Structure 1
Amino acid sequence: MHTTCWERLLDSPALRLAPGFLDRLQADEVLARLDGELEWQRPRLRLYGREHTLPRRQVWMGDAEARYRYSGQDFTPEPWHPAAAWVRDRVQACLAQIDVPARFNSVLLNRYADGEERMGWHSDDEPELGEAPIIAAVSLGAERPLRMRWKHGVGKPFNVWLPHGSLLLMGAGCQAALQHALLPRRLPGLRISLTFRHVVPR
């Protein structure tokens, strides 16, 4: 594997971006396969006592024991799709090059048909992810900014633009310190994200 070039966005907690993690042909192929071959779902979730239809489509995928609870629902993972498993293996090998030990047993795939579909403010800090989870997110398709904000008023909110084929590493401590969101923007084009994580089996 070639050496990945990283941009250091934050040192503490560690936030890194590898814009060229996948080359254009690789990213195009994975995007087309995932878009065309997965059974994308739009579940209804309960938030603050009310049910809402998810403003995007998603698939929860991973090892059989990687069950996940989110917004009052239990999610049982779909088996690994070959393209997602290939990306997972590349992500783990890439992180090993920078001495980040990570074994991902699951991935949340989100499909945004256009810039109006979105993800609200949150941290990936569910108990199933452990005390200081390492999260790695691969972005495919239309480039959009991930909006970041500090939980305790340490600094100003900021954007991280995520180009086609990029890898974002949110290291240990990021979920405790920061929230992130994919806010609606008037940007055309399909985007699929793969957010890799390790779920501690129940």
Structure 2
Amino acid sequence: MPTEILLTDPPLWLTTPLLGEPAATALLHTLDAELDWQRPTLRLYGREHVIPRAQVWMGDPEAHYRYSGRDFCPEPWHPAVAELRDLVIANLADQGVQAGFNSVLLNRYAGGEERMGWHSDDEPELGPDPLIAAVTLGAERPLRFRWKPGAAPAGDAGAAAPFNAWLPHDSLLVMGSGVQRQLQHALLPRRIPGLRISLTFRRIQS
């Protein structure tokens, strides 16, 4: 599986393909059809907003987390997602990275107008420097990254600029230790048609 190194410090890399065809497209259609997709309301800046995408929180029974004033309890593992989790863990082990994912956030974007705003996956339940592994199925879109204040590389204005990580169908983006502490990321609106489902595997610490 070819791997593209996007950053070395903190470690950020992209592997594709992960499943191969026709398995990747079959999984996209399975998840689209079989999951109970939801659009929860979150409180941001004192106001209630329906999220601009659909999502499912899935994982082990104890993998609860709190976000934007709401408690999320995981749905049980769908067999196809559990199989994908094990494949991702095995892929990381082949690269010398140990992962013990007990949960996954699935986001469904019906088209390019649906989005995810600027954030870091830095909820307290994830620990200080979490490992996040994100699988993309469906339409290719860029994940935009920007450095947090004071975290950008010194002495190179180009290296400190925001950048895109284009995530094709059947790809695995790994955000290693330090990425959430030093950078934010967003899936911004684009005139890119087509269904996209992302699965971000992580470990909730009890």
**Which TM-score tier does this pair reach, normalised by the shorter chain?**
over 0.9
Secondary structure of 1:140's counterpart equals strand
Aligned-pair CA distance for 1:152: 2.1
Matched, 1:170 2:175: yes
**Distance in structure 2 (CA, Å) of the matches to 1:178 and 1:130:** 16
Matched, 1:152 2:149: yes
Question: Is 22-31 or 63-72 further displaced after alignment?
Answer: 22-31
Counterpart in the other structure of 1:104? 101
Task: Name segments (4+ residues, structure 1) moved above 2 Å.
Answer: none
> In the alignment, which of 187, 192, 198 is matched to residue 203 of structure 2?
198
Write the letter of the residue equivalent to 1:128.
E
Write the letter of the residue equivalent to 1:136.
A
Write the letter of the residue equivalent to 1:175.
Q
Secondary structure of 2:22's counterpart equals helix
> In the alignment, which of 53, 56, 76 is matched to residue 50 of structure 2?
53
Write the letter of the residue equivalent to 2:172.
L
- Say whether the 8 Å CA contact 1:19–1:162 is kept in structure 2: no
Secondary structure of 2:107's counterpart equals strand
Q: TM-score, normalised by structure 1?
A: 0.97
Aligned-pair CA distance for 1:19: 2.0
Secondary structure of 1:24's counterpart equals coil
Write the letter of the residue equivalent to 2:40.
P
User: Percent identical across equivalent pairs?
Assistant: 68
Write the letter of the residue equivalent to 1:44.
T
Counterpart in the other structure of 1:180? 185
- Say whether the 8 Å CA contact 1:24–1:164 is kept in structure 2: no
Secondary structure of 1:149's counterpart equals strand
In structure 2, the gaps of 5 or more residues are 153-159
**Distance in structure 1 (CA, Å) of the matches to 2:80 and 2:27:** 6
Aligned-pair CA distance for 1:18: 0.4
Counterpart in the other structure of 2:29? 32
Counterpart in the other structure of 1:121? 118
- Say whether the 8 Å CA contact 1:61–1:107 is kept in structure 2: yes
Aligned-pair CA distance for 1:16: 0.4
**Distance in structure 2 (CA, Å) of the matches to 1:103 and 1:33:** 24
Aligned-pair CA distance for 1:24: 2.4
**Distance in structure 2 (CA, Å) of the matches to 1:165 and 1:193:** 10
Aligned-pair CA distance for 1:159: 0.3
Matched, 1:95 2:92: yes
- Say whether the 8 Å CA contact 1:59–1:78 is kept in structure 2: yes
Secondary structure of 1:175's counterpart equals helix
Aligned-pair CA distance for 1:5: 2.0
Paired residues, number: 198
Residues 120-172 of structure 1: per-residue CA shift (max 9 Å, x gap): 00000000000110000000000000000000252000000000000000001
Counterpart in the other structure of 2:77? 80
Write the letter of the residue equivalent to 1:31.
L
State the superposition RMSD in angstroms.
0.7
In structure 1, the gaps of 5 or more residues are none
Secondary structure of 1:186's counterpart equals coil
Counterpart in the other structure of 2:157? none
Alignment of 1:4-23 (within 5 A): 4-23=1-20
